[in-house]
Structure 1
Amino acid sequence: MSTTPQCIWPLAATLGEGPIWHPAEQMLYFVDIKQHKLHRCDAQGENRRTWDMPGETGFALPVDGGGFVCGVAGKLLRFDPTSGEFTTVTTFEDDRPGNRLNDGHVAHDGAIWFGSMDNAETAASGALYRYAGGELTRHDDGIIITNGPAFSPDRKTFYHTDTFGKTVHAFDVQADGTLANKRLFATVKEPGWPDGSAVDAAGNVWVAVFRGARVECYSPAGALLRTVAFPVPNVTKIAFGGPDLKTAFATTATKGLTEDERAAAPLAGGVFAFPVDVPGLPQHLIKLG
Protein backbone atom coordinates (compact mmCIF):
# COMPACT_ATOMS: atom_id res chain seq x y z
CA MET A 1 0.00 0.00 0.00
CA SER A 2 1.31 3.45 -0.92
CA THR A 3 2.21 5.82 1.88
CA THR A 4 0.04 8.39 0.08
CA PRO A 5 -3.38 8.54 1.77
CA GLN A 6 -5.99 6.65 -0.24
CA CYS A 7 -9.68 7.51 -0.07
CA ILE A 8 -11.66 4.44 1.05
CA TRP A 9 -15.08 6.15 1.32
CA PRO A 10 -15.73 9.31 -0.73
CA LEU A 11 -18.85 10.30 1.18
CA ALA A 12 -18.22 14.09 1.10
CA ALA A 13 -18.91 14.59 4.82
CA THR A 14 -19.59 18.16 5.86
CA LEU A 15 -17.57 17.70 9.05
CA GLY A 16 -16.26 14.16 9.30
CA GLU A 17 -14.77 13.68 12.76
CA GLY A 18 -14.01 11.37 15.67
CA PRO A 19 -12.79 8.18 13.95
CA ILE A 20 -12.34 5.16 16.24
CA TRP A 21 -11.35 1.57 15.45
CA HIS A 22 -13.73 -0.76 17.28
CA PRO A 23 -11.56 -3.59 18.64
CA ALA A 24 -14.23 -6.29 18.83
CA GLU A 25 -15.97 -5.51 15.56
CA GLN A 26 -12.82 -4.60 13.60
CA MET A 27 -14.76 -1.71 12.15
CA LEU A 28 -14.14 2.02 11.77
CA TYR A 29 -16.75 4.36 13.24
CA PHE A 30 -16.86 8.13 12.77
CA VAL A 31 -19.35 11.00 12.83
CA ASP A 32 -20.41 13.78 10.50
CA ILE A 33 -21.10 16.48 13.06
CA LYS A 34 -23.04 18.87 10.86
CA GLN A 35 -25.14 16.19 9.16
CA HIS A 36 -26.05 14.49 12.49
CA LYS A 37 -24.75 11.11 11.33
CA LEU A 38 -22.77 8.17 12.69
CA HIS A 39 -21.03 6.12 9.99
CA ARG A 40 -19.36 2.71 9.99
CA CYS A 41 -17.17 0.82 7.52
CA ASP A 42 -14.47 -1.85 7.48
CA ALA A 43 -10.75 -1.31 6.81
CA GLN A 44 -11.35 -1.27 3.05
CA GLY A 45 -14.23 1.17 3.28
CA GLU A 46 -16.86 -1.51 2.67
CA ASN A 47 -19.67 -2.91 4.88
CA ARG A 48 -20.99 0.61 5.28
CA ARG A 49 -23.81 1.64 7.56
CA THR A 50 -25.17 4.98 8.75
CA TRP A 51 -27.30 6.01 11.74
CA ASP A 52 -29.12 9.28 12.40
CA MET A 53 -27.99 11.18 15.51
CA PRO A 54 -30.14 13.53 17.65
CA GLY A 55 -28.23 16.71 16.84
CA GLU A 56 -24.62 17.68 16.26
CA THR A 57 -22.60 14.78 17.66
CA GLY A 58 -18.90 15.41 18.34
CA PHE A 59 -17.98 11.81 19.08
CA ALA A 60 -19.30 8.27 19.46
CA LEU A 61 -17.10 6.16 21.75
CA PRO A 62 -17.54 2.43 22.43
CA VAL A 63 -18.87 1.14 25.75
CA ASP A 64 -17.84 -1.99 27.62
CA GLY A 65 -21.04 -4.00 27.35
CA GLY A 66 -22.05 -2.70 23.94
CA GLY A 67 -23.17 0.47 22.22
CA PHE A 68 -21.65 3.92 22.35
CA VAL A 69 -21.60 7.11 24.36
CA CYS A 70 -22.30 10.03 22.06
CA GLY A 71 -21.48 13.66 22.82
CA VAL A 72 -24.16 16.17 21.83
CA ALA A 73 -24.72 19.72 23.02
CA GLY A 74 -24.95 19.73 26.82
CA LYS A 75 -25.22 15.99 27.33
CA LEU A 76 -23.77 12.54 26.98
CA LEU A 77 -26.11 9.94 25.50
CA ARG A 78 -25.78 6.17 25.39
CA PHE A 79 -26.69 4.82 21.97
CA ASP A 80 -27.77 1.26 21.16
CA PRO A 81 -27.16 0.79 17.41
CA THR A 82 -29.27 -2.37 17.37
CA SER A 83 -32.45 -0.77 18.69
CA GLY A 84 -31.63 2.80 17.70
CA GLU A 85 -32.46 3.98 21.24
CA PHE A 86 -30.74 6.83 23.08
CA THR A 87 -30.65 7.21 26.87
CA THR A 88 -29.20 10.14 28.81
CA VAL A 89 -25.99 9.51 30.76
CA THR A 90 -25.52 13.04 32.12
CA THR A 91 -26.27 16.68 31.31
CA PHE A 92 -24.19 19.82 31.88
CA GLU A 93 -23.31 23.31 30.56
CA ASP A 94 -26.80 24.74 30.95
CA ASP A 95 -25.03 28.08 31.40
CA ARG A 96 -23.30 27.79 27.99
CA PRO A 97 -26.17 27.46 25.50
CA GLY A 98 -24.00 28.35 22.50
CA ASN A 99 -21.72 25.38 23.02
CA ARG A 100 -21.62 21.94 21.44
CA LEU A 101 -19.31 19.02 22.14
CA ASN A 102 -16.30 18.33 19.98
CA ASP A 103 -13.50 15.76 20.29
CA GLY A 104 -13.47 12.84 22.76
CA HIS A 105 -11.24 10.00 23.96
CA VAL A 106 -11.52 6.92 26.19
CA ALA A 107 -8.73 6.51 28.77
CA HIS A 108 -7.25 3.19 29.86
CA ASP A 109 -9.42 3.23 33.00
CA GLY A 110 -12.63 3.60 31.00
CA ALA A 111 -13.07 7.32 31.70
CA ILE A 112 -14.26 9.65 28.93
CA TRP A 113 -12.22 12.79 28.24
CA PHE A 114 -13.89 15.33 25.96
CA GLY A 115 -14.16 19.00 25.18
CA SER A 116 -16.87 21.52 24.45
CA MET A 117 -16.63 24.52 22.11
CA ASP A 118 -18.48 27.61 20.99
CA ASN A 119 -20.50 26.51 17.96
CA ALA A 120 -20.11 30.01 16.49
CA GLU A 121 -16.33 29.65 16.92
CA THR A 122 -15.93 33.09 18.52
CA ALA A 123 -16.36 32.87 22.32
CA ALA A 124 -13.83 31.23 24.64
CA SER A 125 -16.58 29.14 26.25
CA GLY A 126 -15.11 25.70 25.60
CA ALA A 127 -13.91 23.46 28.42
CA LEU A 128 -12.21 20.10 28.95
CA TYR A 129 -14.07 17.43 30.95
CA ARG A 130 -13.60 13.96 32.40
CA TYR A 131 -16.55 11.66 33.04
CA ALA A 132 -15.86 8.64 35.25
CA GLY A 133 -17.74 6.75 37.93
CA GLY A 134 -20.86 8.81 37.33
CA GLU A 135 -19.00 12.06 38.08
CA LEU A 136 -18.24 14.88 35.65
CA THR A 137 -15.21 17.09 36.40
CA ARG A 138 -13.84 20.10 34.53
CA HIS A 139 -10.06 20.16 33.97
CA ASP A 140 -9.46 23.18 31.68
CA ASP A 141 -11.49 26.14 30.47
CA GLY A 142 -11.52 29.29 28.37
CA ILE A 143 -10.95 27.72 24.93
CA ILE A 144 -12.83 28.57 21.72
CA ILE A 145 -12.34 25.15 20.06
CA THR A 146 -11.13 22.19 22.14
CA ASN A 147 -9.59 19.25 20.33
CA GLY A 148 -7.40 16.18 20.45
CA PRO A 149 -7.60 14.63 23.91
CA ALA A 150 -5.09 11.75 24.07
CA PHE A 151 -2.71 9.97 26.47
CA SER A 152 0.90 8.86 26.16
CA PRO A 153 1.53 5.08 26.21
CA ASP A 154 2.78 5.21 29.82
CA ARG A 155 -0.38 7.15 30.77
CA LYS A 156 1.70 9.81 32.50
CA THR A 157 1.13 12.58 29.93
CA PHE A 158 -2.15 13.96 28.60
CA TYR A 159 -2.39 16.02 25.41
CA HIS A 160 -5.03 18.61 24.59
CA THR A 161 -5.33 21.05 21.70
CA ASP A 162 -6.37 24.70 21.52
CA THR A 163 -7.25 24.86 17.83
CA PHE A 164 -7.48 28.62 17.41
CA GLY A 165 -4.38 29.06 19.57
CA LYS A 166 -2.59 26.69 17.13
CA THR A 167 -1.14 24.91 20.13
CA VAL A 168 -1.02 21.42 21.58
CA HIS A 169 -0.55 21.35 25.36
CA ALA A 170 0.79 18.57 27.55
CA PHE A 171 -0.23 17.89 31.16
CA ASP A 172 1.10 15.60 33.86
CA VAL A 173 -1.44 12.98 34.92
CA GLN A 174 -1.72 12.74 38.70
CA ALA A 175 -2.33 9.51 40.62
CA ASP A 176 -5.97 10.52 41.20
CA GLY A 177 -6.54 11.11 37.48
CA THR A 178 -6.43 14.90 37.62
CA LEU A 179 -4.13 17.03 35.48
CA ALA A 180 -1.24 19.28 36.47
CA ASN A 181 1.68 21.23 34.99
CA LYS A 182 0.03 22.45 31.79
CA ARG A 183 2.74 23.33 29.28
CA LEU A 184 3.27 23.94 25.57
CA PHE A 185 3.99 20.74 23.66
CA ALA A 186 3.90 21.94 20.05
CA THR A 187 2.81 24.90 17.92
CA VAL A 188 1.38 24.15 14.48
CA LYS A 189 2.72 26.52 11.84
CA GLU A 190 0.85 27.98 8.86
CA PRO A 191 -1.11 26.99 6.97
CA GLY A 192 -3.91 25.51 9.01
CA TRP A 193 -5.06 24.80 12.55
CA PRO A 194 -4.42 21.74 14.73
CA ASP A 195 -7.47 19.49 14.95
CA GLY A 196 -7.84 15.99 16.42
CA SER A 197 -4.85 13.94 17.54
CA ALA A 198 -3.83 10.36 18.28
CA VAL A 199 -0.79 8.77 19.92
CA ASP A 200 1.08 5.72 18.65
CA ALA A 201 2.80 2.94 20.61
CA ALA A 202 6.13 4.82 20.58
CA GLY A 203 4.52 7.90 22.12
CA ASN A 204 4.54 9.96 18.94
CA VAL A 205 1.67 12.44 18.70
CA TRP A 206 -0.14 12.63 15.36
CA VAL A 207 -2.05 15.88 14.76
CA ALA A 208 -4.52 16.47 11.92
CA VAL A 209 -4.29 19.96 10.44
CA PHE A 210 -7.56 21.57 9.34
CA ARG A 211 -7.05 23.84 6.32
CA GLY A 212 -3.50 22.51 6.18
CA ALA A 213 -3.98 19.44 3.94
CA ARG A 214 -1.75 17.33 6.16
CA VAL A 215 -1.18 15.29 9.30
CA GLU A 216 1.89 16.05 11.41
CA CYS A 217 3.73 13.54 13.61
CA TYR A 218 5.61 14.83 16.67
CA SER A 219 8.06 12.98 18.89
CA PRO A 220 7.32 12.70 22.64
CA ALA A 221 9.69 15.66 23.04
CA GLY A 222 7.62 17.81 20.67
CA ALA A 223 9.91 17.66 17.62
CA LEU A 224 8.23 17.44 14.21
CA LEU A 225 9.20 14.04 12.77
CA ARG A 226 7.01 13.58 9.74
CA THR A 227 4.35 15.25 7.61
CA VAL A 228 1.78 13.29 5.59
CA ALA A 229 0.27 15.34 2.75
CA PHE A 230 -3.40 14.93 1.82
CA PRO A 231 -5.22 15.76 -1.43
CA VAL A 232 -7.91 17.65 0.53
CA PRO A 233 -7.62 20.81 2.68
CA ASN A 234 -9.50 19.84 5.86
CA VAL A 235 -8.06 16.86 7.72
CA THR A 236 -9.84 16.47 11.07
CA LYS A 237 -8.47 13.44 12.95
CA ILE A 238 -6.80 10.04 12.57
CA ALA A 239 -7.34 6.71 14.29
CA PHE A 240 -5.05 3.70 14.17
CA GLY A 241 -6.76 0.49 13.14
CA GLY A 242 -6.66 -2.69 11.16
CA PRO A 243 -5.70 -6.06 12.69
CA ASP A 244 -2.18 -4.85 13.57
CA LEU A 245 -3.11 -1.20 14.31
CA LYS A 246 -0.69 -0.12 11.58
CA THR A 247 -3.22 1.63 9.36
CA ALA A 248 -4.04 5.27 10.00
CA PHE A 249 -7.60 6.20 9.08
CA ALA A 250 -8.34 9.91 8.62
CA THR A 251 -11.62 11.81 8.52
CA THR A 252 -11.90 15.01 6.47
CA ALA A 253 -14.45 17.77 5.87
CA THR A 254 -15.97 19.96 3.18
CA LYS A 255 -16.93 22.61 5.74
CA GLY A 256 -15.89 26.11 4.68
CA LEU A 257 -14.67 25.20 1.21
CA THR A 258 -15.59 27.41 -1.74
CA GLU A 259 -16.99 25.96 -4.96
CA ASP A 260 -13.56 26.31 -6.58
CA GLU A 261 -11.90 24.54 -3.63
CA ARG A 262 -14.45 21.74 -3.81
CA ALA A 263 -13.79 21.35 -7.52
CA ALA A 264 -10.02 21.22 -6.91
CA ALA A 265 -10.44 18.62 -4.13
CA PRO A 266 -13.27 16.28 -5.21
CA LEU A 267 -12.45 13.79 -2.43
CA ALA A 268 -12.93 16.38 0.33
CA GLY A 269 -15.05 14.98 3.14
CA GLY A 270 -13.94 11.42 2.38
CA VAL A 271 -12.32 8.89 4.70
CA PHE A 272 -8.67 8.12 3.94
CA ALA A 273 -6.19 5.43 4.97
CA PHE A 274 -2.40 5.17 4.92
CA PRO A 275 0.11 2.71 6.45
CA VAL A 276 2.38 3.50 9.39
CA ASP A 277 5.49 1.74 10.66
CA VAL A 278 4.66 2.07 14.36
CA PRO A 279 1.27 0.71 15.47
CA GLY A 280 -1.23 2.84 17.28
CA LEU A 281 -2.53 2.30 20.78
CA PRO A 282 -5.61 0.09 21.23
CA GLN A 283 -9.02 1.66 21.54
CA HIS A 284 -10.27 1.43 25.14
CA LEU A 285 -13.90 0.88 26.14
CA ILE A 286 -15.95 3.16 28.38
CA LYS A 287 -16.83 1.79 31.80
CA LEU A 288 -20.12 3.29 32.89
CA GLY A 289 -20.33 1.34 36.16
Structure 2
Amino acid sequence: MIFDDTPCTLGEGALWHSDLNALIWFDIIGKRMYLKPVGGQRRHWDFVDHVSAAGIVDANRLIVASSRALLLFDLRDGTRTTLVDLEADNPVTRSNDGRADPQGGFWIGTMGLNAEAGAGSIWRYCRGELRRLFAHITITNAICFAPQGDSACFTDTDKGVIMRVALDADGWPVGDPQPFIDLRAEGLSPDGAVMDAQGGLWSAQWGAGRVARYDAQGRFDRAVMLPAAHISCPSIGGADLDTLFATSARQGLDAPGPDDGCTFAVTVDERGQSEHRVILPSSVS
Protein backbone atom coordinates (compact mmCIF):
# COMPACT_ATOMS: atom_id res chain seq x y z
CA MET A 1 0.00 0.00 0.00
CA ILE A 2 2.89 2.41 0.67
CA PHE A 3 4.30 3.58 -2.65
CA ASP A 4 6.89 5.86 -1.06
CA ASP A 5 7.69 6.26 2.63
CA THR A 6 9.08 9.81 2.45
CA PRO A 7 7.27 11.64 5.30
CA CYS A 8 5.95 14.81 3.66
CA THR A 9 4.87 17.66 5.90
CA LEU A 10 2.21 18.55 3.31
CA GLY A 11 2.16 16.07 0.44
CA GLU A 12 0.17 17.34 -2.54
CA GLY A 13 -0.12 17.51 -6.32
CA ALA A 14 -0.08 13.79 -7.17
CA LEU A 15 0.37 13.45 -10.96
CA TRP A 16 0.86 10.30 -13.03
CA HIS A 17 3.40 10.74 -15.85
CA SER A 18 2.73 7.90 -18.29
CA ASP A 19 5.78 8.64 -20.47
CA LEU A 20 8.04 7.96 -17.50
CA ASN A 21 5.86 5.32 -15.77
CA ALA A 22 6.29 7.52 -12.71
CA LEU A 23 4.40 9.47 -10.07
CA ILE A 24 5.19 13.12 -9.42
CA TRP A 25 4.19 14.80 -6.16
CA PHE A 26 5.16 17.69 -3.88
CA ASP A 27 5.86 18.55 -0.28
CA ILE A 28 4.52 22.09 -0.28
CA ILE A 29 6.00 23.06 3.09
CA GLY A 30 9.30 21.41 2.20
CA LYS A 31 9.42 23.31 -1.14
CA ARG A 32 10.31 20.07 -2.89
CA MET A 33 9.10 18.07 -5.91
CA TYR A 34 9.45 14.29 -6.08
CA LEU A 35 9.42 11.84 -9.00
CA LYS A 36 9.43 8.07 -8.58
CA PRO A 37 9.04 5.48 -11.35
CA VAL A 38 7.18 2.30 -10.49
CA GLY A 39 9.88 -0.06 -9.28
CA GLY A 40 12.52 2.67 -9.60
CA GLN A 41 14.43 5.15 -7.47
CA ARG A 42 12.95 8.36 -6.11
CA ARG A 43 14.39 11.68 -7.29
CA HIS A 44 13.71 15.16 -5.93
CA TRP A 45 14.27 18.83 -6.73
CA ASP A 46 14.28 21.75 -4.29
CA PHE A 47 12.80 25.19 -4.95
CA VAL A 48 13.15 28.64 -3.40
CA ASP A 49 9.38 29.08 -3.16
CA HIS A 50 6.53 26.79 -2.17
CA VAL A 51 5.57 24.47 -5.05
CA SER A 52 2.35 22.50 -5.16
CA ALA A 53 1.18 21.16 -8.53
CA ALA A 54 2.31 20.34 -12.05
CA GLY A 55 1.00 19.65 -15.52
CA ILE A 56 2.73 17.61 -18.22
CA VAL A 57 3.99 19.47 -21.29
CA ASP A 58 5.84 16.56 -22.89
CA ALA A 59 8.02 13.60 -21.90
CA ASN A 60 10.67 15.81 -20.33
CA ARG A 61 8.98 19.07 -19.35
CA LEU A 62 6.40 20.14 -16.80
CA ILE A 63 4.57 23.31 -15.92
CA VAL A 64 5.13 23.73 -12.16
CA ALA A 65 3.13 26.07 -9.95
CA SER A 66 5.02 27.98 -7.29
CA SER A 67 3.92 30.67 -4.86
CA ARG A 68 5.00 33.40 -7.30
CA ALA A 69 4.95 31.98 -10.83
CA LEU A 70 4.16 29.22 -13.26
CA LEU A 71 7.47 27.67 -14.27
CA LEU A 72 8.57 25.59 -17.22
CA PHE A 73 10.63 22.82 -15.63
CA ASP A 74 12.96 20.41 -17.46
CA LEU A 75 13.25 17.03 -15.75
CA ARG A 76 16.49 16.23 -17.58
CA ASP A 77 18.62 18.91 -15.96
CA GLY A 78 16.37 20.72 -13.48
CA THR A 79 16.35 24.01 -15.35
CA ARG A 80 13.34 26.24 -14.79
CA THR A 81 12.02 29.25 -16.66
CA THR A 82 9.23 31.59 -15.59
CA LEU A 83 6.27 31.41 -17.97
CA VAL A 84 4.08 33.92 -16.14
CA ASP A 85 3.85 35.49 -12.69
CA LEU A 86 1.20 34.07 -10.36
CA GLU A 87 0.11 36.55 -7.67
CA ALA A 88 3.77 37.52 -7.36
CA ASP A 89 2.77 40.86 -5.82
CA ASN A 90 0.70 39.20 -3.07
CA PRO A 91 2.85 38.03 -0.12
CA VAL A 92 -0.17 36.45 1.57
CA THR A 93 -0.78 33.64 -0.93
CA ARG A 94 0.85 30.55 -2.39
CA SER A 95 -0.21 28.04 -5.03
CA ASN A 96 -2.19 24.95 -4.05
CA ASP A 97 -4.18 22.43 -6.10
CA GLY A 98 -3.89 22.32 -9.91
CA ARG A 99 -4.37 20.12 -12.97
CA ALA A 100 -4.20 20.27 -16.79
CA ASP A 101 -7.55 20.35 -18.60
CA PRO A 102 -8.63 18.44 -21.74
CA GLN A 103 -8.28 21.53 -23.94
CA GLY A 104 -4.60 22.06 -23.12
CA GLY A 105 -4.94 24.63 -20.35
CA PHE A 106 -3.70 24.45 -16.76
CA TRP A 107 -5.91 25.34 -13.81
CA ILE A 108 -4.19 26.41 -10.60
CA GLY A 109 -5.59 27.49 -7.27
CA THR A 110 -4.04 29.84 -4.76
CA MET A 111 -4.69 30.23 -1.03
CA GLY A 112 -3.38 32.14 1.95
CA LEU A 113 -0.22 30.86 3.60
CA ASN A 114 -2.26 30.65 6.80
CA ALA A 115 -5.56 29.83 5.06
CA GLU A 116 -6.73 33.43 5.33
CA ALA A 117 -10.45 33.61 4.61
CA GLY A 118 -11.22 34.32 0.94
CA ALA A 119 -7.60 35.03 0.01
CA GLY A 120 -7.40 32.46 -2.78
CA SER A 121 -8.41 32.28 -6.42
CA ILE A 122 -8.55 29.77 -9.26
CA TRP A 123 -6.69 30.72 -12.43
CA ARG A 124 -6.39 29.17 -15.88
CA TYR A 125 -3.22 29.37 -17.96
CA CYS A 126 -3.98 28.67 -21.62
CA ARG A 127 -1.57 29.14 -24.51
CA GLY A 128 0.22 31.98 -22.77
CA GLU A 129 -2.79 33.71 -21.22
CA LEU A 130 -3.37 33.66 -17.45
CA ARG A 131 -6.95 34.50 -16.47
CA ARG A 132 -8.60 34.52 -13.06
CA LEU A 133 -11.70 32.30 -13.12
CA PHE A 134 -12.98 32.39 -9.53
CA ALA A 135 -12.01 34.55 -6.55
CA HIS A 136 -12.62 34.79 -2.78
CA ILE A 137 -11.84 31.12 -2.07
CA THR A 138 -10.20 30.12 1.20
CA ILE A 139 -8.67 26.70 0.35
CA THR A 140 -8.69 25.87 -3.37
CA ASN A 141 -8.92 22.16 -4.10
CA ALA A 142 -10.52 19.31 -6.10
CA ILE A 143 -9.67 20.73 -9.55
CA CYS A 144 -10.54 17.98 -12.05
CA PHE A 145 -12.29 17.50 -15.38
CA ALA A 146 -14.99 15.30 -16.87
CA PRO A 147 -13.65 12.90 -19.52
CA GLN A 148 -15.80 14.57 -22.20
CA GLY A 149 -14.11 17.91 -21.42
CA ASP A 150 -17.46 19.65 -20.96
CA SER A 151 -17.26 20.39 -17.22
CA ALA A 152 -14.81 21.05 -14.41
CA CYS A 153 -15.02 20.58 -10.66
CA PHE A 154 -13.38 22.43 -7.80
CA THR A 155 -13.99 23.17 -4.14
CA ASP A 156 -13.32 25.51 -1.30
CA THR A 157 -12.35 22.93 1.32
CA ASP A 158 -13.45 25.39 3.98
CA LYS A 159 -17.06 25.19 2.68
CA GLY A 160 -17.28 21.41 2.16
CA VAL A 161 -19.05 21.47 -1.21
CA ILE A 162 -17.52 20.30 -4.49
CA MET A 163 -18.77 22.57 -7.28
CA ARG A 164 -19.20 21.83 -10.98
CA VAL A 165 -19.12 24.32 -13.85
CA ALA A 166 -19.78 23.86 -17.58
CA LEU A 167 -16.96 24.50 -20.05
CA ASP A 168 -17.10 25.78 -23.62
CA ALA A 169 -15.26 24.14 -26.51
CA ASP A 170 -12.08 26.04 -25.61
CA GLY A 171 -12.21 25.01 -21.96
CA TRP A 172 -13.40 28.30 -20.45
CA PRO A 173 -16.18 28.24 -17.80
CA VAL A 174 -19.73 28.99 -18.92
CA GLY A 175 -22.29 30.20 -16.39
CA ASP A 176 -22.11 29.94 -12.62
CA PRO A 177 -20.71 26.92 -10.75
CA GLN A 178 -23.34 24.67 -9.19
CA PRO A 179 -23.12 22.38 -6.14
CA PHE A 180 -22.25 18.82 -7.20
CA ILE A 181 -21.21 16.90 -4.08
CA ASP A 182 -22.24 18.33 -0.70
CA LEU A 183 -20.20 16.86 2.15
CA ARG A 184 -21.25 19.24 4.90
CA ALA A 185 -23.76 16.94 6.58
CA GLU A 186 -21.07 14.27 6.97
CA GLY A 187 -18.53 16.76 8.27
CA LEU A 188 -16.06 15.81 5.52
CA SER A 189 -13.38 18.12 4.14
CA PRO A 190 -12.77 17.63 0.39
CA ASP A 191 -9.14 18.06 -0.60
CA GLY A 192 -7.66 17.12 -4.00
CA ALA A 193 -9.67 15.13 -6.55
CA VAL A 194 -9.35 13.36 -9.87
CA MET A 195 -11.93 11.99 -12.32
CA ASP A 196 -11.75 8.53 -13.84
CA ALA A 197 -12.63 7.54 -17.41
CA GLN A 198 -16.25 6.85 -16.40
CA GLY A 199 -16.73 10.31 -14.93
CA GLY A 200 -16.43 9.16 -11.33
CA LEU A 201 -14.83 11.66 -8.98
CA TRP A 202 -12.26 10.41 -6.45
CA SER A 203 -12.09 12.83 -3.51
CA ALA A 204 -9.24 12.85 -0.98
CA GLN A 205 -10.84 13.75 2.33
CA TRP A 206 -8.64 15.56 4.82
CA GLY A 207 -8.92 14.15 8.32
CA ALA A 208 -10.94 11.11 7.24
CA GLY A 209 -8.10 8.81 6.14
CA ARG A 210 -9.72 7.99 2.83
CA VAL A 211 -10.31 8.65 -0.84
CA ALA A 212 -14.01 8.39 -1.70
CA ARG A 213 -15.45 7.79 -5.18
CA TYR A 214 -18.65 9.50 -6.32
CA ASP A 215 -20.33 8.48 -9.57
CA ALA A 216 -20.99 10.79 -12.52
CA GLN A 217 -24.22 11.95 -10.84
CA GLY A 218 -22.40 12.84 -7.62
CA ARG A 219 -23.65 9.85 -5.61
CA PHE A 220 -21.35 8.12 -3.13
CA ASP A 221 -19.98 4.86 -4.53
CA ARG A 222 -17.21 3.60 -2.24
CA ALA A 223 -14.32 4.66 -0.03
CA VAL A 224 -10.72 3.46 -0.06
CA MET A 225 -9.36 3.66 3.48
CA LEU A 226 -5.68 4.53 3.89
CA PRO A 227 -3.40 4.45 6.98
CA ALA A 228 -2.91 8.21 7.26
CA ALA A 229 -5.30 10.78 8.71
CA HIS A 230 -4.76 13.62 6.26
CA ILE A 231 -5.12 12.25 2.72
CA SER A 232 -4.54 15.19 0.42
CA CYS A 233 -4.46 14.43 -3.33
CA PRO A 234 -5.26 11.42 -5.53
CA SER A 235 -4.09 10.42 -8.98
CA ILE A 236 -4.98 7.36 -11.06
CA GLY A 237 -2.10 5.86 -12.99
CA GLY A 238 0.02 2.79 -13.46
CA ALA A 239 0.58 0.88 -16.68
CA ASP A 240 -3.12 -0.05 -16.91
CA LEU A 241 -4.45 3.18 -15.35
CA ASP A 242 -5.93 1.17 -12.49
CA THR A 243 -3.71 2.26 -9.60
CA LEU A 244 -5.00 4.87 -7.19
CA PHE A 245 -2.12 6.94 -5.80
CA ALA A 246 -2.65 9.35 -2.91
CA THR A 247 -0.44 11.78 -1.02
CA SER A 248 -0.83 12.58 2.66
CA ALA A 249 0.37 15.09 5.24
CA ARG A 250 1.78 15.25 8.74
CA GLN A 251 0.77 18.89 9.07
CA GLY A 252 -1.83 19.52 11.77
CA LEU A 253 -1.24 16.25 13.64
CA ASP A 254 -0.09 16.42 17.26
CA ALA A 255 1.34 12.90 17.16
CA PRO A 256 1.86 11.74 13.55
CA GLY A 257 1.96 7.99 12.99
CA PRO A 258 4.61 6.21 10.93
CA ASP A 259 2.49 6.31 7.75
CA ASP A 260 1.34 9.92 8.01
CA GLY A 261 2.95 11.93 5.22
CA CYS A 262 3.64 8.86 3.07
CA THR A 263 2.37 8.35 -0.48
CA PHE A 264 0.12 5.34 -1.14
CA ALA A 265 -0.84 3.11 -4.09
CA VAL A 266 -3.87 0.82 -4.28
CA THR A 267 -5.25 -1.15 -7.25
CA VAL A 268 -8.86 -0.20 -8.08
CA ASP A 269 -11.43 -1.57 -10.53
CA GLU A 270 -11.97 1.66 -12.46
CA ARG A 271 -9.69 3.00 -15.17
CA GLY A 272 -8.33 6.50 -14.92
CA GLN A 273 -8.01 9.13 -17.60
CA SER A 274 -4.62 9.71 -19.14
CA GLU A 275 -3.34 13.03 -17.83
CA HIS A 276 -3.89 15.86 -20.27
CA ARG A 277 -0.97 17.84 -21.71
CA VAL A 278 -0.48 21.58 -21.33
CA ILE A 279 -0.18 23.36 -24.68
CA LEU A 280 2.38 26.16 -24.59
CA PRO A 281 2.30 29.20 -26.88
CA SER A 282 4.41 28.94 -30.02
CA SER A 283 6.75 31.59 -28.61
CA VAL A 284 7.93 29.11 -25.97
CA SER A 285 10.31 26.54 -27.42
TM-score range, shorter chain: over 0.9
Residues 24 and 176 of structure 1, relative CA distance in 2, 3 Å threshold? closer
> Quick one: which of 184, 203, 206 aligns to 1:207?
203
> Quick one: which of 30, 44, 51 aligns to 1:50?
44
What SS does the corresponding residue of 1:97 show, helix, strand or coil?
Answer: coil
Match status 1:38 vs 2:56: no
Match status 1:276 vs 2:250: no
d(CA) in 2 for partners of 1:42, 1:125: 36
The TM-score, its normalising length taken from structure 2, stands at: 0.94
CA RMSD of aligned residues (A): 1.4
Question: How far 1:60 moved relative to its partner?
Answer: 2.4
1:224 corresponds in structure 2 to: 220
In structure 1, list runs of 5 or more residues that go unmatched: 1-5
Question: How far 1:96 moved relative to its partner?
Answer: 2.9
2:3 corresponds in structure 1 to: 8
Which letter does structure 1 place at the counterpart of 2:193?
A: S
Which letter does structure 2 place at the counterpart of 1:270?
A: C
Q: How many matched pairs? A: 279
Question: How far 1:81 moved relative to its partner?
Answer: 2.5
Question: How far 1:197 moved relative to its partner?
Answer: 0.2
2:53 corresponds in structure 1 to: 59
Residues 108 and 175 of structure 1, relative CA distance in 2, 3 Å threshold? closer
d(CA) in 1 for partners of 2:192, 2:59: 26
What SS does the corresponding residue of 1:58 show, helix, strand or coil?
Answer: strand
Question: How far 1:168 moved relative to its partner?
Answer: 0.3
Q: Is the 2:105–2:126 Cα contact (8 Å) retained in structure 1?
A: yes
2:234 corresponds in structure 1 to: 238
> Quick one: which of 197, 202, 205 aligns to 2:193?
197
> Quick one: which of 80, 98, 111 aligns to 2:92?
98
Which letter does structure 2 place at the counterpart of 1:37?
A: R
The TM-score, its normalising length taken from structure 1, stands at: 0.92
In structure 2, list runs of 5 or more residues that go unmatched: none
1:144 corresponds in structure 2 to: 138
Question: How far 1:89 moved relative to its partner?
Answer: 0.3
Q: How does 1:24-173 map to 2 (within 5 A)?
A: 24-44=19-39, 46-64=40-58, 66-173=60-167
d(CA) in 1 for partners of 2:36, 2:58: 20
d(CA) in 1 for partners of 2:75, 2:254: 35
